[in-house]
Structure 1
Amino acid sequence: MKPLLPLLFALSAGLAPAHALELDKTLCVAGAKPGGGFDVTCKLAQAGLLEGRYIQAPMRISYLPGGIGALAFNAFVTQRPAEAETLVAFSSGSLLNIAQGKFGPHDASDVRWVAGVAADYGVVIVADSSPFKTLGDLMAAVKADPSRIVFGAGGTFGSQDWVKAAMTARAAGVHHRNMRLVAFEGGGEALTALQGNHVQVYTGDASEAATRLAAGVPIRVLAVMSEQRLPGQLAKVPTAREAGFDLVWPIVRGFYLGPKVSDADYKAWVDVFARMLASKPYEQLRSERGLYAFSMTGPEFDAYVKRSVGSYRKVAEDFGLKVAK
């Protein structure tokens, strides 16, 4: 395989060298089933890299569900560590899982963190047919009888969605051990279950909600877990704090590479993402997917990830979850 460095630099300058066909093989791996946050993240890179002419053909997307990113992380650390043309999507939920040791013996030092490309936020979602019109309505029902309200989560005990559900239950005055929750393999499945009334509430992500609303999916977002109201599709949705509940959950979305990808190829991806993230067309693409501004690459982003894992250890401890040594 030819090094990515000259190929990516040439394409990022708007050129099309004869050997650029090598980049037709670019791939983004989403560590869950289609329809969730990893899928959104991969599709954002797919569109941004193609529109900016950093690649000549659309990046392929493949799905490797298992442990909400755990299977993909393990695969690229142990089996596919040198695939320079393969990006793997992750979110802050992945870092929360690393903090708890849910990615096995591997930690944040075992892959190469390329870029954080967007911010997202937790949201509280119900079906459009739900009797709950506000977050206050839902919280009153949870407090009155937690056994009657089933939360859906993209991930099992201790996952990011589980923590958002646990925070919501706690804000309603209910211990998280008393909440009812059904775990799904990704946000796509959880949203489908919500529409089928198999669960009554889903503590998902703003990007998932915005893209589903834009597609006409019958859901209602009761609150966003952000410091301030979000622009775009969710502009009219109040923050949880506006509704009287201190629920804030920011999410960063981005990509990593396997640990044996060369320094030159790693730098090529870092430089391309830095250029793409600074462009106006990318800003529009990000907004269209219900995502918000966050831009960090290379060593600075690597340091950010490792600090974040430390912070998530404290979150896990707060809920009595096991944390990695």
Structure 2
Amino acid sequence: MIAKRLAQAALVVLVATPAVAFEPQNAECIAPANPGGGWDFTCRTVGRILDELDLVDGSVQVTNMTGAVGAVAFANVASKRADDPNLIVATSTVGITQIAQGRYPGDVDTMRWLGMLGADVGTLMVGKDAEYADANALLEAVKADPSSVVVGGSSAIGGWDHLRFLMLAQEAGVPADQLGDIRWVEFSGGGDAVTQMMGGHIDAVLTDIGEIGGFIESGDVKALAVMSDERLPAYPDIATATEQGIPATGYNWRGFYMGGDTSDEAYDGWVEILSDLYESEAWQEAAVSSGLTPIWRGGAEFEEFVRESEARTRDISKAIGVID
């Protein structure tokens, strides 16, 4: 009888005692670039807000680990810290593009992808007096003759701006073996590309809206589409590509991964922490002030998004000869 009562008492204690939620200790964020860049901003801003909101115990240490557009940090985590529950690494669309093009020492399954907190959005635009009324009109011209339209942006051939335009072209019906015929011009920034377009040197621009929003607001250019799931609150009159029958999104997002051998407890804990941060007024203000559109994808949804993005980027990179 005594043994039975002791067992019952123990069961009550177990039921009444809630499970301890995951709490990172001495949290660290690796920014795979020098101070001042986008990955550094992501680590430092998120780290500061995590501390201010007491979402982690103590301050977040930021470590800058430069090299090979994030490949050095990726290799370091994979080989030395794959199971570290206290470490997160800043990444973005650029990192996934590098993986898709075989420039990292591993594939997407090497890491666990936590979530994205915000993004700049690809925008297709032409001069204010251009004949194209919408994205379909421009892409129909490209479809009829891929070399007839000259497009520019702030990346080289095979970079993210270029790939985003190719995604639009592919969805509009340009055959994969003709994507490489599309004429692309690289500029040092989106603003330079728009200036050259306004001067009549190129026909269209595809770049992040955060770089060239002022041209849209002034009426100097005509935005044909934004590559987002929904219309942007700051630009409600610009239709999405998907609305126009071109189902392609093109986010230049900011987010995080952690080592591939971390526990489910640590992974789920960090997803919850970052979700709470995303919902905070502090993050919403920080994102908008830095030119980002707050967008949350986390956990399994984000991992699926990363895999789909990598596969599509790899396929288009092959089609244009960037990789074999």
- For the aligned pair, the TM-score class normalised by the smaller chain equals 0.5 to 0.7
Helix, strand or coil: the match of 1:154?
coil
| Residue of 312, 315, 322 corresponding to 1:317 | 315
Over residues 93-143 of structure 1, what are the superposed CA-to-partner deviations in whole Å (9 max), with x where a residue is unaligned? Answer: 543543x352344012322433332355432256x8886885457557756
Matching residue's letter, 2:255: G
Helix, strand or coil: the match of 1:273?
helix
Give the CA deviation at 1:291.
1.5
Structure 1 residues 84 and 64: CA distance shift in structure 2, 3 A:
farther
Equivalent positions of 1:41-56 (< 5 A) are: 41-42=42-43, 45-46=46-47, 48-54=49-55
Task: Calculate percent identity across the aligned residue pairs.
Answer: 22
Structure 1 residues 76 and 140: CA distance shift in structure 2, 3 A:
same
- Structure 2 portions without partners, runs of 5+: 1-21
Q: Over the residues paired in the alignment, what is the CA RMSD in angstroms?
A: 4.9
**1:215 & 1:84 partners in 2: Cα distance?**
45
Counterpart of 1:191 in structure 2 is 190
| Residue of 206, 209, 216 corresponding to 1:203 | 206
**2:191 & 2:221 partners in 1: Cα distance?**
10
Structure 1 residues 213 and 290: CA distance shift in structure 2, 3 A:
farther
Question: Do the aligned partners of 1:29 and 1:89 also contact (CA within 8 Å) in 2?
Answer: yes
Counterpart of 2:257 in structure 1 is 256
Counterpart of 2:231 in structure 1 is 229
Helix, strand or coil: the match of 1:194?
helix
Question: Do the aligned partners of 1:32 and 1:66 also contact (CA within 8 Å) in 2?
Answer: no
- Structure 1 portions without partners, runs of 5+: 9-21
TM-score normalised by length of structure 1: 0.62
Number of matched residues? 288
**2:202 & 2:67 partners in 1: Cα distance?**
21
Counterpart of 2:150 in structure 1 is 149
Structure 1 residues 110 and 168: CA distance shift in structure 2, 3 A:
closer
**1:44 & 1:223 partners in 2: Cα distance?**
30
Give the CA deviation at 1:177.
1.3
Counterpart of 1:91 in structure 2 is 92
Helix, strand or coil: the match of 1:234?
coil
Question: Do the aligned partners of 1:169 and 1:179 also contact (CA within 8 Å) in 2?
Answer: no
Structure 1 residues 141 and 91: CA distance shift in structure 2, 3 A:
same
Structure 1 residues 195 and 214: CA distance shift in structure 2, 3 A:
closer
Structure 1 residues 146 and 45: CA distance shift in structure 2, 3 A:
farther
Structure 1 residues 263 and 190: CA distance shift in structure 2, 3 A:
same
Equivalent positions of 1:258-273 (< 5 A) are: 258-259=259-260, 269-273=270-274
Structure 1 residues 35 and 132: CA distance shift in structure 2, 3 A:
farther
Question: Do the aligned partners of 2:88 and 2:256 also contact (CA within 8 Å) in 1?
Answer: yes
Question: Do the aligned partners of 2:115 and 2:296 also contact (CA within 8 Å) in 1?
Answer: no
**1:121 & 1:82 partners in 2: Cα distance?**
33
Question: Do the aligned partners of 1:111 and 1:257 also contact (CA within 8 Å) in 2?
Answer: yes
**2:157 & 2:78 partners in 1: Cα distance?**
22
**2:163 & 2:35 partners in 1: Cα distance?**
20
Give the CA deviation at 1:145.
7.7
Structure 1 residues 134 and 44: CA distance shift in structure 2, 3 A:
farther
Equivalent positions of 1:39-118 (< 5 A) are: 41-42=42-43, 45-46=46-47, 48-54=49-55, 62=64, 64=66, 66-67=68-69, 69-78=70-79, 87-92=88-93, 94-98=95-99, 100-118=100-118
Counterpart of 2:19 in structure 1 is none
Counterpart of 1:178 in structure 2 is 181
TM-score normalised by length of structure 2: 0.62
**1:63 & 1:214 partners in 2: Cα distance?**
37
**1:130 & 1:28 partners in 2: Cα distance?**
46
Structure 1 residues 202 and 47: CA distance shift in structure 2, 3 A:
farther
Question: Do the aligned partners of 2:40 and 2:64 also contact (CA within 8 Å) in 1?
Answer: no
Over residues 42-91 of structure 1, what are the superposed CA-to-partner deviations in whole Å (9 max), with x where a residue is unaligned? Answer: 56525643552447768758584645x44543354347768877643223
**1:315 & 1:276 partners in 2: Cα distance?**
29
**1:213 & 1:44 partners in 2: Cα distance?**
28
Give the CA deviation at 1:229.
1.8
